[in-house]
Structure 1
Amino acid sequence: MDLRPSRLSDPHALELIARVQAEYVERYGGEDEAPIRYDEFDAPAGAFFIGYADLGAGPVPVAMGGWRRASTQALGGREVAEIKRMFVDAAARRRGYAAAVLRHLEQTAAEAGIDVLVLETGLRQPEAMALYEAHGYVPIPGYGYYRDAPLSRCYAKKLAKS
């Protein structure tokens, strides 16, 4: 998979966002309505990436993820960012793409001076929870938009200095 810097407003990102929202409807009965502004993922406030893979007919967008600076406090971090829009298309799963996107987000965030990453996922996404836990993320109390969401689970990870 080839990870390329992008913008959240890129047509390929919008295509993947539509797919993840459809999955949320399937799993939770509705789309994720957490507020997001496209510019929050532009440097220096954040970063966004799309992963392209050849699934038989040339490179197509199969994965995405980004981080944005956050005011949330976790694990004693001074510079905290939130991971958002982590997603791998169903046709491209079980190939290590999610782990690759996650590692890339951690690396780019650390290079930008972020020392803690936080994220939110849901109880109906056990594969996401397993991924984050396998990569050293620990449960934290709910924050922000998801503070009181009963199906929500929040995680954080202290990043190694780059």
Structure 2
Amino acid sequence: MILKRTDSSDIDFQELVRLLDADLAIRDGEDHEFYHQFNSIATLRNCVIAYWENAAVACGAFKALSEDTVEIKRMYTDTLNRGKGLASKVLGELEAWAKEEGYKKCVLETGIKQPEAIALYEKCGYRRIPNYGQYIGIDNSVCFEKSI
């Protein structure tokens, strides 16, 4: 496995996000458009792609939320490569990169219909927090944070 730091102009990142959005459209159903409005990748500067046997198979990104906090976004592993620990590696790389840039904390939102994502974040040391920002009052959202 190789990890690559890049930005949202990367074609491999864009293709993985297309697959992510297709998966989320099915999982989220009628709620998909609400969530989709918060997931633009147009200006993401901090994206990580995992390559397995020279194929782009997993990704994630972060964006600044405040002076000391980033939000983890667009985490995805393609269906054929799940269970290999790739998402944990991508998440770890995002955390390391954010820490290098001086951030102290990561927050994120995921859906209750994504149990594998919830398990990943809990395994990686994230703790549940009250929903923040646009997710306040949204029953299908679960929010997490981790100090880095």
**Fold shared by both chains (TM-score > 0.5):** yes
- Who is 1:51 aligned against? 50
Aligned-CA RMSD value: 1.4
Cα–Cα, structure 1 residues 35 and 18, in superposed 2: closer, same or farther, change >3 Å?
Answer: closer
Q: Secondary structure at the match of 1:8?
A: coil
- Residues 32-91 of structure 1 show CA distances to partners (whole Å, capped at 9, x for unaligned) of 22153532x32xxxx11111111xxxx1110111111103xxxxxx60000001111111
Conserved 8 A contact 2:39-2:74: no
CA shift for structure 1 position 142: 1.1
Q: Secondary structure at the match of 1:121?
A: strand
Matched ranges for 1:4-19 at <5 A: 4-19=4-19
Conserved 8 A contact 2:39-2:73: no
Conserved 8 A contact 1:7-1:38: no
1:60 to 2:60 alignment: no
Conserved 8 A contact 2:13-2:59: yes
d(CA) in 2 for partners of 1:14, 1:35: 12
CA shift for structure 1 position 146: 1.8
Cα–Cα, structure 1 residues 79 and 151, in superposed 2: closer, same or farther, change >3 Å?
Answer: same
**Aligned equivalent of 2:137, options 148, 157, 162:** 148
Q: Secondary structure at the match of 2:8?
A: coil
**Aligned equivalent of 2:37, options 29, 33, 56:** 33
1:132 to 2:121 alignment: yes
- Who is 1:75 aligned against? none
- Residues 93-139 of structure 1 show CA distances to partners (whole Å, capped at 9, x for unaligned) of 00000110111111111111110000000101111101111111111
**Aligned equivalent of 1:108, options 76, 80, 97:** 97
CA shift for structure 1 position 141: 1.2
Of all paired residues, the percent bearing the same amino acid is 38
Q: TM-score, normalised by structure 1?
A: 0.83
> Which structure dedicates a bigger proportion of its chain to helix?
2
d(CA) in 1 for partners of 2:41, 2:112: 25
d(CA) in 2 for partners of 1:145, 1:35: 12
d(CA) in 1 for partners of 2:10, 2:93: 19
Stretches of structure 2 that go unaligned for 5 or more consecutive residues are none
User: How many correspondences in the alignment?
Assistant: 144
Larger Rg: 1
Q: TM-score, normalised by structure 2?
A: 0.91
Cα–Cα, structure 1 residues 67 and 148, in superposed 2: closer, same or farther, change >3 Å?
Answer: same
